[in-house]
Amino acid sequence: MTALKIVVFSDSHGNSSQMVNAVYDEKPDAVIHLGDGCRDCDALSFFEIPIYKVCGNNDFCAENRENILTFSGKKLFFTHGHYYNVRSSPSALIERAMSLGADAVLFGHTHTPLSENTGRITVLNPGTVGYKGSYGVIEIENGKIKTDIKTV
């Protein structure tokens, strides 16, 4: 069985060229953008893959602040993170994700990459593709979630 691959971006802040390069290199099955530049995803439309996005605090939209989707039997809860005060700690966000029965939580806002498994949930913050050129990769295979932070 082939792994399902998802590329995760956040905080692109108008820099879509690095996202295009990452998608070209990774050849993912889907893209998730965690806000603060979610309109930058328009530059990815020619790849003809599903693109999911939520609004960040700099996106000037009120809808679609968080989402939960299931990929290969695994629930991914994602949001920008500013409503959960993630700059102080991701603990409130992790609690919310666990209350929803999520297997993983994805967030941005801090511009600081984070990839860890707490034993109960996988946590991924891809950092900022706009300033530091980092992004996340999720692979789901045989019921397991693997995350990685990469740079463009």
Dump pLDDT digits (tens) for 85-118: 999 999 999 999 999 999 999 999 999 999 999 8
Residue 140 host element (H or E) = strand 134-141
pLDDT at 111: 96
Give the model's pLDDT for residue 1: 62
Query: Is residue 30 scored above 70 in pLDDT?
Result: yes
Domain 4-151, CATH: 3.60.21.10
Taking the domains of the chain in order of start, what are their residue ranges? 4-151
Tell me the pLDDT band of 81, cut-offs 50, 70 and 90: very high
**E-strand stretches of 35-133:** 51-53, 66-71, 74-79, 104-106, 114-117, 122-125
Average pLDDT score over the chain: 95
Q: Once rounded to an integer, what is the mean pLDDT over residues 46-55?
A: 95
pTM of the model: 0.96
